[in-house]
Amino acid sequence: MNPHATNHPISYFRKYHQEDALDLSPQFQRNPVWTDNKASYLIDTILNELPFPEVYVRSLTDEDGFTKLEVVDGQQRLRSIIRFYSNDLQLEGENVTERWRGMSWNKLSKERREAFWSYKVVVRELEGAGDAEVRWSRKIGQGVKVYSTV
């Protein structure tokens, strides 16, 4: 396994999602459980250009050169982002900055949409990771302390 951190704009995930190459529900993933309030708080974070925890992905490339991204940790965050730019989320909740309350994708200015697409997400890419390594990485991504016996 060759894990490395990099930064990708939100548009990177949009491209994979549009190409049906972003797997948000691999076998080891939990069901989506975030409320609209929690999803709104994440979008508020992005619109205010603040950081959020890194996303873990495993890239799988087949013999024809088609690459698929499996989301190891961060599917709720990515689903929230997709819901927002798909105009399926109106920002709500006490944790949302007053400026953004009631905001939806269609109400954003051209400049704010461009900033949204350019927002950098810290991504931990798990190239060549097997299923056991992915499960271990999920524990790390979720803040579980894992101690090596080696």
77 closest CA partner among 48, 50, 100, 43: 43
Confidence check: pLDDT of 140 > 90: no
Residue type, 147: Y
Residue 1's pLDDT band (boundaries 50, 70, 90)? low
Higher pLDDT, 52 or 61: 52
Task: Report domain extents, the chain.
Answer: 2-141
Rg (CA), the chain: 16
84 closest CA partner among 118, 50, 116, 111: 116
Q: What is the pTM of this model?
A: 0.83
pLDDT mean over 109-114? 97
Confidence check: pLDDT of 131 > 50: yes
Residue 20 burial (C-beta neighbours within 10 Å; 0-12, 13-18, 19+): exposed
pLDDT mean over 50-62? 91
